Amino acid sequence: MTQEIQKNSYLLLDSRNAPLARGELLTNPDAPTLQVRVLDHKISDVMNHEEIQLVPMGVNGAALLGRIVRSRNDNIVLEKLQSLDNDMRQNLRIPTDFRSFIYPITGRWRGRRSIEAKDLSCGGLAFFCADPLEVGEHVEVIVPVTSQPVLLRCKILRERPSEEEREDVLYAGKFVEMCNDEEMVVREAVFNIQLQGRPRKS
């Protein structure tokens, strides 16, 4: 996908943050009226809703909220209601259950440790690990559900409570020091899994 196409590509969500389709914004995002081409023959899914959230798939750009005013073929016209929090796409979290490995950067252990992912977002990863980790330590994690597996740096933020009865611990991690290409690859994977509506296994 070229940089220009990526720049204009958005994920369309309903008011409950459920993914509906991918779309291409045909107008300036600052315009009061937005025109969007709905991709993948999903126009009927989109037209079942009155308000649509547009979350950019590229690194830059604000998420938008709009009200559908009309449609023609695969194109919709939205009345722009507001710009949304830029953290929205970072916090768009999807369930996943791939197995992978982490490697120490600042921790006092060596080798590698097995993990099982619980959910993935553009900004981080929640995973189960049978071995203890310290809050604040940095690890490298292999994320295998992208178009090509990527090795990302991750900071352990906290232990998360889990509803599952397991002996291993659920950790929340935040991706750090990501380059633009890494951000784009992870975001595309998150959005694609969202649209497929099922967890992605490695």
> 21: domain range?
3-89
Q: Which residue has the tokens 């600052």?
A: 30
CA distances from 112 to 95, 115, 117, 129, 155 (A): 24, 10, 15, 11, 16
When the pLDDT of each residue in the chain is averaged and rounded to a whole number, the result is 87
What CATH number does residue 150 fall under? Answer: 2.40.10.220
pLDDT at 161: 79
Return the bridge partners of 66, or none.
Answer: 52, 80
Do both 171 and 136 map to the same domain?
yes
Tally of CB atoms within 10 A around 57: 23
pLDDT at 197: 61
Do both 25 and 107 map to the same domain?
no
Do both 81 and 98 map to the same domain?
no
CA dist 75 and 90 (Å) reads: 27
**Which among 120, 129, 108 is positioned nearest to 171, based on CA atoms?**
129
Its pTM stands at 0.70
CB 62 within 8 A of CB 87: no
